[in-house]
Structure 1
């Protein structure tokens, strides 16, 4: 019998056809791949499954991510990814078709949106009816000021993801959620968050691949995004303790994962039995 960290039966993992994998804190930390990640990905395929990386990190385009994981030795192309940037582009197309978007984000995020036919501006413009913020690793005080100017107008307000921090080699840096708090303190406005824990990303991937929720599991290190996303979408979840979440966090949280493992290496060990 397969079991998780607390000896809970995990035999169902053997029959999962799709593993939706968070990235930061789950399979790597910044630029360092976690031990066991490559074996884990290989084992998924050996068991007849497939993996898709779903990340809330909107600072990079899909092309950037493909290049990054390829450098780490992971075999993947654009078909292996679904990001909050892609989900945001889909959401804008569905809910704000033809509207101009003011974006506080990286050049990669802006390019991703433009490639999907969305008109994007990065300076205050009267024509912009939507303000979008992302995890902006290229942020400046001027960009923050311009965003505050736009939020003073009658506009829709969106954010790519609610993550408070992003794990890096020395600890954490502020992510999009923290940037939204900063902007709320200045403007009083709170955005609608598109990425996890909203089920949008999972629903899009399952529809595209034609895979059922019962055949899917999401693997991540954050309770309030990864695990909550799985719960909201109605799919099983694995929380790994290699990133943000701790056992104390899990004990205190009302959102509970289906299974808990120390890392993807331990998940691989069980799958290989």
Structure 2
């Protein structure tokens, strides 16, 4: 079994856990990529597990379960770990009992509240934390309130550093771009909780009791997905079905362990080994 560059990738067939990015890796917005269902079934047939780890905080876990189920993907809430969940865990551990002002979708707000965190969505002097997420419901009023809050002495967090989110026609600004907009207005930068921080990966490995050498992360972005694997010290696969292109890998400093055109190609290579 070899990857796109001809590198031997035999150890991939012994992996017990596949940590999968979503947007740009298994689907694009609402269109599932060819080969995704076969790839996921192959993982199950091998007795391994897959967990979707996504930086997209615009949807709750329940939203994601419905989204992928509608695409024909077998998954429940145990198959997901999102930046929203990681953010809630981080806030509870590092800022217990504090009030959070959130610029994010209603799904993100509800995810935080379901974790027992008090959240406000209007400028409020009681809030000691400002959190921003990938807000597909953003308004000029929300941006104004966030700028008001950032004038105060508050902890400033963001769910993820992604600059763009892939959609059917190209890309739209993601949380990282929103943070740049706010920095231009306030001079402040947040601490990013999602990928490439290893927080999400480490939480999943601990929860499932899987060793690092038995896990691999699959994603389409070098500065989030692949960097996360490097930071967490697990193997990485970059697929060229989303943001990253081969020239980005060749010219950049972040190098994945393996490169494939898509999850379909990974599936084909895995089954090719079985058929030899």
TM-score, length of structure 1 as denominator length: 0.99
Aligned to 1:272, the other structure's residue is in SS state helix
Aligned to 1:128, the other structure's residue is in SS state coil
Matched, 1:8 2:4: no
Any idea what the Cα deviations from partners look like across 1:9-64, whole Å, max 9, x if unmatched?
00000110000000000000000000000000001111121100000000000000
Alignment of 1:74-113 (within 5 A): 74-113=73-112
Distance between the aligned counterparts of 2:251 and 2:143, measured in 1? 35
Q: Which residue of 2 aligns with 1:256?
A: 255
Cα RMSD between the aligned structures? Answer: 0.4
Distance between the aligned counterparts of 1:242 and 1:231, measured in 2? 20
Q: Kindly tell me the number of residue pairs found equivalent between the two proteins.
A: 272
Aligned to 2:188, the other structure's residue is in SS state coil
Any idea what the Cα deviations from partners look like across 1:145-188, whole Å, max 9, x if unmatched?
00000000000000000000000000000000000000000000
Q: Which residue of 2 aligns with 1:48?
A: 47
**Hey, which bits of structure 1, 4+ residues long, moved more than 4 A?**
none
Q: Which residue of 1 aligns with 2:215?
A: 216
Q: Which residue of 2 aligns with 1:176?
A: 175
1:255 is displaced (CA, Å) by 1.0
Q: Which residue of 2 aligns with 1:68?
A: 67
Q: Which residue of 2 aligns with 1:266?
A: 265
Distance between the aligned counterparts of 2:228 and 2:5, measured in 1? 22
Q: Which residue of 2 aligns with 1:150?
A: 149
1:124 is displaced (CA, Å) by 0.7
Q: Which residue of 2 aligns with 1:189?
A: 188
Aligned to 1:7, the other structure's residue is in SS state coil
Distance between the aligned counterparts of 1:144 and 1:129, measured in 2? 18
Distance between the aligned counterparts of 2:147 and 2:247, measured in 1? 37
Distance between the aligned counterparts of 1:181 and 1:82, measured in 2? 26
Distance between the aligned counterparts of 2:20 and 2:203, measured in 1? 15
Distance between the aligned counterparts of 2:48 and 2:5, measured in 1? 25
Aligned to 1:218, the other structure's residue is in SS state strand
Any idea what the Cα deviations from partners look like across 1:114-163, whole Å, max 9, x if unmatched?
00000000001111000000000000000000000000000000000000
Alignment of 1:120-159 (within 5 A): 120-159=119-158
**Alignment gaps of 5+ in structure 2:** none
Distance between the aligned counterparts of 2:220 and 2:71, measured in 1? 20
Distance between the aligned counterparts of 1:24 and 1:95, measured in 2? 29
Matched, 1:231 2:214: no
Any idea what the Cα deviations from partners look like across 1:61-102, whole Å, max 9, x if unmatched?
000000000000001000000000000000000100000000
Distance between the aligned counterparts of 1:46 and 1:182, measured in 2? 46
1:272 is displaced (CA, Å) by 1.0
Q: Which residue of 1 aligns with 2:35?
A: 36
